[in-house]
Amino acid sequence: MSHPTLLWDSTQIKGFGVADLHYLSKRTDFRTAQTEREHQAAAFEARGYNKIGSRVYVSGSFQFRKTWQDSLAFALRGPQPDGMPTYYFVPKAGKFERQIYQATAHVGYALKPNKWRTDLQMDYLHHWATRSVDPRMEHYTMQLVLKPSLSYRLGTLQTTLQGIWGYANAQTNLSYKHTPYTFGNAFPEYHYRTSYGYGNISLALDSSDMRQYDHYKGIALLGKTHKANWELLWHGEYLHTQQNSTNDQRRMVGYFVKQRFSLDAFRLSFFGIHHHSNPLAIRLVAEHKQGEDFNGNMRSKNYLWQQSRALVGFTKTLQSTTHLPKEFGVETTITHDERTDGSTNHYMQRTWVDVGMPLAITYVLPAANRIRWTLRPSYRISLHNELNIPNTQYTIFSTGIAYPEHYYYGTNALSLQTRLAYIGKTSVRYPFGLYIDLGWTRPDGYHGEIYPGTKYYSGNNTALQLGLNFYL
């Protein structure tokens, strides 16, 4: 319930709560070099809403997740999104353990009932991670984001203007238990590097901790309206992120920024639903990111990144008033990614499209209990896949990261996701739910050239998740 416009419509409800407990196990043979082969996770999530008096209402969510990763290489980092340039990496794969705490707190106050409302949302993240193979990593991230907003209602039109401000601190420590791995040419796979872009790397071992300080600023416009049987929601957002990477503590005199990366992200989404005996839902999403760095050692720009994504989808419900309602739809997502590293002349550009068909059927049992089965087959098609690296600029990044990515995104792939869920009531009248998720992906195979000294990670991917829900 973090959308202020939707929360306004919830003020007629005294309160509710949902809790989820689940376990996830994945095996990913078809992957990039910076993706783990084995992944297990146990998580607990809870969210809820409550109204206090006639004008104050609060909502919030909490998640704790414990993950175990095996056979993860080329990524000694925390939750840093793909595309950010500055991180440690090492060819030697290892085991990682992570703990993630996420919390959202939201409070709203009706300045003038049914006219003006003010809200404040706070998002908090703490991520801790370790690696048990040399080089041994310890990483933590703390992130805090504040989102104050002001909402106004005029008839059926509801609009919200929201500000975004936040910061994050991260630190990555590396150490060796076995000294012979730290020098010489006997064990090169244990030597870690620092990435500063898409090919620009430092080969020297850096004994200092990597510290990263992020700042976020942005604005969002959200709204909702309805006309006749149509209901429309929209969300437009701009977010600027600046990440300063250094080996120094920020309070030190002469604090030196090794790399500064600025990222501008734009997002626009629409969701429309036609309320009828057989409802129709339409979803449109457009996103664009563009970023550039300033390298402190080179005293110039070096790395450029652009990524765009568009999604179009619809879902239609049939026989919604019967004991066996059915749903079908189509979703199409197209993604374009482009990265340039000036100092090493690495250039990558790729475009792919994913076409999915969500299907669902629900069996309504007596006492409003339900069994629901969903199935989503999808197919990913590579439309353009270009990687240019001069022969004189080959490094471990080129052969270990860039080319495996090139093979992965140049491969078409078939995926199936399905869920079987049951929602019923316990003897104490509170509903509960059980569900099982299965996922499967099979690549068609890469039909281009596999270059010497590079690796193509092939095979099928499988995923299993078991979960339990409680509703209050």
Rg (CA), the chain: 24
Q: What is the pLDDT of residue 1?
A: 46
Q: What is the pLDDT of residue 2?
A: 55
Q: How far is CA 397 from CA 32, 259, 371, 408, in A?
A: 13, 18, 49, 16
Q: What is the pLDDT of residue 206?
A: 59
For residues 83 and 78, give the distance between their C-alpha atoms in angstroms, rounded to a whole number: 13
For residues 47 and 104, give the distance between their C-alpha atoms in angstroms, rounded to a whole number: 9
Question: Amino acid letter at 431?
Answer: P
Please give the model's pTM, rounded to 2 decimal places. Answer: 0.92
DSSP string, 196-232: ESSS-EE-S---SPEEEEEEEEEEEEEEEEEETTEEE
Q: Are 95 and 68 in contact (CB under 8 A)?
A: yes
For residues 329 and 360, give the distance between their C-alpha atoms in angstroms, rounded to a whole number: 9
Q: What is the pLDDT of residue 251?
A: 63
Query: Which residues does the chain have with pLDDT short of 50?
Result: 1, 11
Q: What is the pLDDT of residue 32?
A: 97
DSSP string, 104-143: EEEEEEEEETTTEEEEEEEEEEEEEEEE-SSSEEEEEEEE
Summarised one tens digit per residue, pLDDT across range 199-212 is 999 876 656 789 99
* Contacts of residue 461, Cβ cutoff 8 Å, sequence gap at least 6: 26, 27, 28, 29, 30, 31, 439, 440, 441, 442
Match 């995104």 to its residue by tokens: 409
